[in-house]
Amino acid sequence: DREMIPTRTGEYVAIGGLNCAISSSEMGLDVPSDQFCPTKPKIFGVGCRLAETMKGRIMILDGAMGTMIQQLKLEENDFRGERFRDHPKPLKGDNDILCLTKPDAIYQIHKDYLLAGADITETNTFNGTPVAQKDYDMEHLVYEINKAAAELARRACEEVAAETGIPRYVAGAIGPTNRTLSISPSVERPDYRNITFLELVDAYSQQVRGLLDGGVDILMVETIFDTGNARAALFAIDQLFENEFEPVPLIISGTIVDKSGRTLSGQTTEAFVISVTHAKPLCLGLNCALGAREIRPFIENISRFTEAFVICYPNAGLPNAFGGYDETPEIMATQLKEFAVDGLVNLVGGCCGSTPAHIKAIAEAMKGIPPRNLPVNLFKETLLLSGLEPMHLNRYTNFVNIGERCNVAGSRRFCKLIKEGKFEDALQVAKLQVESGAQVLDINMDEGMLDGVKSMTRFLNLISSEPDIAKVPLCIDSSNFAIIEAGLGCCQGKCIVNSISLKEGEGDFLEKARIVRRFGAAVIVMAFDEEKQATSIQHKVEVCSRSYDVLTRMAGFNPNDIIFDPNILTIGTGIEEHNEYGINFIEATKVIKESLPCARISGGLSNLSFAFRGKDVIREAMHAVFLYHAIKRGMDMGIVNAGNLPVYSDIPKDLMNLCEDILWNKADNCTDKILEYAENLGEEAKKIVLTDEWRKECTEERIVYSLVKGIDKYIVEDTEEARLQKDTYPRPLNVIEGPLMKGMSIVGDLFGSGKMFLPQVIKSARVMKKAVGHLIPFMEKERQDKLSSAGGKDAGLADEKSRFAGTIVIATVKGDVHDIGKNIVGVVLGCNNFRVIDLGVMTPCEKILSTAINEGADIVGLSGLITPSLEEMIHVAKEMERLKMKLPLLIGGATTSKAHTAVKIAPQYSQPTIHVLDASKSVVVASALLDETAKYDFVEEISEEYDFIREEYRDSQQESKYLSLEEARARALHIDWTCHIPVKPKKLGVTVFKDFDLNILIPYIDWKPFFDVWQLRGKYPNRGFPKIFDDKDVGAEAKQVHSTAMSMLTTIIEEKWLKAHGIVGLFRASSVGDDIKVYSETGEEQGTFFGLRQQV
């Protein structure tokens, strides 16, 4: 029962069982490693020169064209010129037309910016599309305007380059237009759009042709407030590069409209980056809308989220009451200098309100500051998706649920609503799927009586108006490629296309794949070829391998964006050849994952049990058993009814055995047995019937059962019953710490072992939230009673904070919406008289830190459930260090660990950074940190433990990664001496201390090494000297050896056994390359400390 798989070299490899593997090199599928990094820029042509320059120094972009045109105070006749003297519409305000009517003025603006220090100047074409020019009836001149604008900028660059000897570059400015693909212009009709994707593609194509023919070096898609529009521009550019023009580098710059950190169309900065990264821009960043001070946290996000060079050109502050900008060149330059010193940028300039004076000041400020170092292998082997929010899928991601109910072919209710034109009601189906745990939403409009293109367009436009739905990525599902294209044109995020295949031949497959890639989507590939649907392991692997080869080598696909569906086919049909369809999918999955790097596996789960339609109990059990095994072999995602899967371990044993038998084809009569089981169930087989037998258990077991099963029907009454059991649970808090935490602990274990899925965890979390919500009023009353009895409430204290043990700010970090664990921590801390400020979920770093500062917090606590939260926590720690904060930082949540905190987070922050395992430990940790007598020893013990963890981690790393000498030198510390003046010591040169008084030295002795040598180690809180004397195990012995040591020291001093001499030298010094030169007070060189030591 082993099969032979042909490799691409013609050899055969045996597979079968659990140990089969074919490497990508054996398959002949070696893919350049660059292709595995989704955010890596594509560098070619003039981009090579730009990249080399930006690795060596921070380059300078020019400032605002519009600001300089306004300063010219031009009137209507100036805009018209002689050529348009009789034009029927007013032209004042059409700055782009000045390229034809006032070319000398535009040329001079370019030249002024270049002479001020700009390396790159943008063409005067911000409104250079037919869409924008239509307001002036000038759309027929778009090509001419853009070509003329590029030629003016080119002339200025060539002249200034000749004068200065420094190369200058022209960037073709491509603005956002005055239309939006993602937002309706009509409040009453959220599905209405006043432009289509293809209309925008055509408009941008006309503009880009003019810019490229005019000689631009770079294309710059900028001021993006709707990512849908930007994707249309990128689509147009890619088409032109493929069919008409040699490619030039791209710069992409978005606009954050306010301090929420989102674009006007609602995307976070990270989601925006994911949505445009498929274009492989040379530079990626932000401009406009905000001043430098306000834009910093968002440019920092982009800097952490891309391997491209980072550009930032903010406004000269926020607009004042009169629409002007108040930041002087010095203020703006100082603020951008901070970005540079912190290693955030490679290219800077100015937007609205900036002038040549601003650019000159910025250019001066950037001199000598190293540019941002580009991250390496960022998000390698990660599938990046986005809706309004980002999504990462990598080897650490749990199974991803693709919600199936927005499919006219799979949901009668959804189909009926769509057919009846009740699209708003159909939105509720989508919303319920997301609420039930769908992480991606599958949308399908394939029905004979529907206009699929119109239905898909309308429904997706409606989704974009609902942030609670639009936050997740979409899966555009259709067998009609025209419907897929229509759907992709409505999405500003990075979607999944479901699906394409080799069924119609390689040419058709390649054409569709290139279109999908041009849209920037990931793709599901069905295991079909020209002959048939793949059913055997061998055929599935062959088709997927061939498809992978075409996609990576010929269509330019990032392997991370390839998802295979090796066909989940129906089992239990009574037809013998169908019996191993389940086995074949699972085993093919394992081979595909091992042999095709970075590819993912998905499948439509409902097909598996189609033979048992109407028998929901059987079907759902089969699905749970199948997923349990398929996920272990490598299945990453699946189209499922989110929230409607039983927990694997809850399936009745007899039914589970039947499902295992039919899946693994263990006997000839599996189908008959499972049908017999269904018949014995009778009507109960149609749906799962929950009995109330468990209600006979004790209170604690009933609460645990409710949590594990996600049943909220009785949770309030059971929680109240437990609260009233004062002998067992003296305080309401004890109910949380007891049965409620026990239940959630079981949920966590089941989730971690793959026996429970996210939708089920969410149901459990809701039950927990309901129980805790019932207890909160009782806990609050308990706290108030305690305060009253202590006189706290009546004491008339001016400062409310003084009534509390301390103030703790807690938040789920940005990018994460999970909060049940954090909420429990808040409740537990509150019940122990801590003032808790809960900032909720998706909390930006700047909000967490500003709240902590403004509220006078004593501790900051971060929570997260998903893997990307770990990176955000590292970022928060770095920011706390940058701001020189002194507060302890607590880390918690399902995805966190003591090891990660010790190795990755704690080193970023010089204050105590501590992992808190669960809510029950939060009070102990917080109390220790706020107890001045206990804090030192507690922190020291944690620090020692984390040092040990870090050392173990370093030892476990098989291979150290070294930088080249050039790279190491490029990362040298940069000290800004203009901001720091060293304090001159009172005495320079050498100072000698002869025969120093030993009595003065004794109080400075560190006794820890002494006790370590004697192998005496106290336990917290009795760590360190002199508290070790109080330790019950080693205290007496420590006291004795210390007493003996002190006696010896007395003898040493009295009998003068030892003398102490000291010498210290303070000298002028400077760094020269790798070395440090030392000088006398008069400036004469006295010697060199050589910095270059060991190299590998």
Distances (CA, A) of 439 to 233, 474, 600: 28, 9, 16
Q: Tell me, what's the pLDDT at 798?
A: 39
429/438 Cα distance (integer angstroms):
12
How sure is the predictor about 802, in pLDDT bands with cuts at 50, 70 and 90? low
Mean pLDDT check: name the lowest of 424-433, 569-578, 751-760, 973-982: 751-760
Query: Which contacts qualify for 298-304: CB closer than 8 Å, 24 or more apart?
Result: 298/256, 298/261, 298/269, 299/339, 299/344, 299/345, 300/344, 300/875, 301/261, 301/269, 301/270, 302/269, 302/273, 303/343, 303/344, 303/345, 303/372, 304/375, 304/871, 304/875
pLDDT of 1035-1081, one tens digit each? Answer: 999 999 999 999 999 999 999 999 999 999 999 999 888 889 999 88
Q: CA 130, CA 866: separation in Å to the nearest integer?
A: 44
> What is the pLDDT, as a whole number, of residue 10?
34
Question: Environment class of residue 622 by beta-carbon count within 10 Å: exposed (0-12), middle (13-18) or buried (19+)?
Answer: buried
Sequence letter at residue 789: S
Number of helices (H) and strands (E), helices first, in the chain? Answer: 39, 30
Confidence of residue 960 (pLDDT cuts 50, 70, 90): low
869 annotated active-site = yes
Mean pLDDT across 166-194: 94
pLDDT surpasses 50 at 22: no
Residue 1095 pLDDT level (bands cut at 50, 70, 90): low
Per DSSP, helices labelled H in 864-994 are 868-882, 898-900, 919-930, 932-956, 965-970
Q: What is the mean pLDDT of residues 498-512?
A: 96
CA-wise closest residue to 237 among 210, 214, 264 = 210
Distance CA 229, CA 224 (A): 8
Q: What is the pLDDT of residues 559-599, one digit of tens each?
A: 999 999 999 999 988 788 899 999 999 999 999 999 999 99
Instruction: Give 121-187 as a 3 state SS string.
Output: EECCCCCCCHHHHHHHCCHHHHHHHHHHHHHHHHHHHHHHHHHHCCCCEEEEEECCCCCCCCCCCCC
CA distance 905 to 913: 8
- The band of 550, judged by pLDDT with boundaries at 50, 70 and 90, is very high
Query: Is the confidence at residue 1034, as pLDDT, over 60?
Result: yes
What's the token pair of residue 9? 């070299």
Q: What is the pLDDT of residue 782?
A: 84
Question: For residues 1089 and 1093, what is the distance between their CA atoms, to the nearest angstrom?
Answer: 11
CB 130 within 8 A of CB 206: yes
**Residue 12 pLDDT grade (very low, low, confident, very high; cuts 50, 70, 90):** very low
Is the pLDDT confidence value at 794 over 90?
A: no
Beta carbons within 8 Å of 73's beta carbon, 6+ residues apart: none
pLDDT (0 to 100) of residue 279: 97
In the predicted structure, residue 198 carries a pLDDT above the cut 90: yes
Give every CB contact of residue 416 below 8 A, 6+ residues apart in sequence. Answer: none
pLDDT tens-digit series, residues 485-496 = 999 999 999 999
Q: Catalytic residue, from 629, 818, 900, 1042: name it.
A: 818
For residue 1039 the two structure tokens come to: 């006291």
How confident is the model over 822-847, as a mean pLDDT?
86
Q: What was the pLDDT predicted at 792?
A: 52
**pLDDT tens digits, 702-738:** 999 999 888 989 999 999 999 999 999 998 888 988 8
Question: What pLDDT is attached to residue 670?
Answer: 87
pLDDT band per the 50, 70, 90 thresholds, residue 667:
confident
CA-based angle 245:248:253, to the nearest 5?
125
Q: What is the mean pLDDT of residues 300-305?
A: 92
Q: What order of strands is seen across the sheet that includes strand 600-601?
A: 600-601, 562-565, 522-526, 496-500, 474-477, 440-444, 400-407, 637-640
Catalytic-role residue among 182, 455, 464, 869: 869
What average pLDDT does the segment 932-959 reach?
83
**Opening angle at CA 878, ends 875 and 883, nearest 5:** 125
| pLDDT (mean) for 737-745 | 85
Q: How much is the pLDDT for 31?
A: 58
pLDDT at 1073 (0 to 100): 86
Residue 952 has pLDDT above 90, yes or no: no
**Distance between CA 250 and CA 231 in Å, rounded?**
13
Count Cβ neighbours within 10 Å for each residue of 420-440 and write b for 16 or more, e otherwise: eeebeebbebbebbbebbbbb
Please provide the average confidence, as pLDDT, over all residues in the chain.
89
Cβ atoms of residues 568 and 610 within 8 Å: no
Q: For 358-390, how does the pLDDT look when each residue is reduced to its tens digit (9 = 90+)?
A: 999 999 999 999 999 999 888 989 999 999 999
Q: What percent of the chain has pLDDT over 90?
A: 65
pLDDT over 50 (residue 2)? no
pLDDT at 33: 58
Range scoring the smallest mean pLDDT among 310-324, 443-457, 756-770, 1025-1039: 756-770
- Characterize the bridge pairing of strands 283-291 and 250-254: parallel
The confidence score (pLDDT) of residue 815 equals: 76
User: By mean pLDDT, which of 77-91, 209-223, 313-327, 343-357 is the weakest?
Assistant: 313-327
What's the rounded Cα separation, in Å, for the pair 453 and 447? 11
Q: Please determine, for residue 307, whether its predicted confidence score (pLDDT) is greater than 50.
A: yes
499 upstream amide cis, omega within 30 of 0: yes
Summarize the confidence of residues 262-284 as an average pLDDT: 95
Residues written for the chain: 1096
Residue 837 neighbours by CB under 8 Å, 6+ apart: 807, 808, 809, 810, 851, 855, 857
Question: Annotated catalytic residue: which of 119, 191, 816, 858?
Answer: 816
CA 893 – CA 504 distance, rounded (Å):
48
**pLDDT (0 to 100) of residue 64:** 96
pLDDT at 330: 96
Confidence of residue 971 (pLDDT cuts 50, 70, 90): confident
With CA atoms as reference, report the closest residue to 906 among 945, 850, 868: 945
Which of residues 862 and 11 earns the better pLDDT score? Answer: 862
Average pLDDT over residues 684-692: 61
pLDDT at 283: 98
Looking at per-residue confidence, does 967 or 656 come out higher? 656
pLDDT of 399-427, one tens digit each? 999 999 999 988 889 999 999 999 999 99
